[in-house]
Amino acid sequence: MELHKFLLVLLLLTSTILVASGDTSVHESSIDHPRHHHHHRHRHHRHSHQYYVDQRNKKYGFDKLFVFGDSYADTGNIQKSLGNSWKPPYGITFPGKPAGRFSDGRVLTDYIAKYYGIKSPVAYRWIKYFPKKLRSGVNFAYGGTGVLDTLVPEPNMTTQIDFFQQLLDNKVYNKVDLQSALFLVSLAGNDYSAYIAKGGIAEGLPAFITSVIKQLGVNLKRLRSLGARKIAVTGLEPLGCLPVNTVQTSFQQCNATANTAVAFHNVLLNEAVSKLNIEIGYNACTVLDLFNSFTTVLMHKGDITGSLKFETPLKPCCMGISPTDRCGSVDENGKKLYVVCNDTNSAFFWDGVHPTQAGWHAVSLALKPVLDQIV
């Protein structure tokens, strides 16, 4: 199919990728065959074991994590009035109640931190209440946001980096601190949903995608200039496999055309990162391939170790009881307008857009080869 047709499908499908999503009834699911990923064994880690944390610190050299981006990384920044992440049943697996994460439990940030033996960084909006947690870094990500302004009145990535720079200006961190820090940048597609909601047309999408990647490149360079030594930036996930976009097939099948369209964004991203690394003189920036890691898990219907099983991988665990309802919706009397699956560990997706804790765990295992290279 021609590129402009791919982009048209991408434009149509990303119209729903914002803070949360609509849900409806579901059936058994399956997936088109994506690219294969090599298998690796991975041990499940427990953060509570301080010896383990110290050993991971020594191995990888990171003791702080600074995070920028959206709901795939947000651990409690978005305002309670804006995100369903502060409403039941979000957080039922961890920490046992809604805490601002767009999942039943832990999200990408938590697993990246865990992998390198770092305590998950405190959300920026809470740093004044937990100053001691600053030693592990800060999470500046806000659900619903993008590289540019979106429909959510929260700080875009440029402003998030402004917050980080303010901490540097206030001597909370110095350049030496940043040498042992990893920077995580999450970009899950909110810029594109905002584009169509603001009246953007298909013909203008290629230029808009280019502008998004250009601004992302500016942001990465700025982080470098502020002292970032190592940066991990996410590629765009397979939008055609998100439940909001597979509901038309009763969650039976991914939209292969949409997933091919996503490749345009990811190709530009990889080109921008490669160019930046050449300018720097070493691999300061690494792309975390969420497209491949998501499709690998979905294809295997579980994690690559075989310890987690997602028998209906495209089926969300939490969904609205009607097409107009979504996970976390209630009526004027407080009655639940959603249903939740019996076992969150059996579902890859939590709601129409976001993975479950188990889903993110499986994704983190699929990312292991590239995470091992970030040192």
Which of 300, 351, 361, 364 is catalytic? The answer is 351
Degrees to nearest 5, angle at CA 328 with 332 and 364: 170
Which of 37, 354, 361, 364 is catalytic? The answer is 354
Q: Under DSSP, is residue 122 helix (H, G, I), strand (E, B) or coil?
A: strand
Distance spanning both ends of the chain, measured CA to CA: 40
- Mean of the per-residue pLDDT values of the chain: 88
State the amino acid at position 272 in one-letter form.
A
Structure tokens at 153: 């009145």
Structure tokens at 41: 């064994």
351 catalytic residue (yes or no): yes
Measuring CA to CA, how many Å separate 60 from each of 10, 113, 368, 372? 37, 12, 13, 8
Give the DSSP H or E segment for 137.
strand 137-139
Specify the pLDDT at position 353: 97
Question: What CA–CA distance (Å, rounded) separates 164 from 121?
Answer: 13
Give the chain's residues under pLDDT 70: 1-59
CATH class of the domain defined by 3-373: alpha beta
Q: Is the dihedral of CA 102, 107, 108, 113 positive or negative?
A: positive
Residues 63-84: pLDDT tens digits?
999 999 999 999 999 999 999 9
Which of 71, 186, 293, 346 is catalytic? The answer is 71
Question: What CA–CA distance (Å, rounded) separates 4 from 103?
Answer: 34
Question: What CA–CA distance (Å, rounded) separates 346 from 323?
Answer: 23
Q: Under DSSP, is residue 151 helix (H, G, I), strand (E, B) or coil?
A: coil
Specify the pLDDT at position 190: 96
Instruction: List the domain boundaries for the chain.
Output: 3-373
Residues 134-175: pLDDT tens digits?
999 999 999 999 999 999 999 999 999 999 999 999 999 999
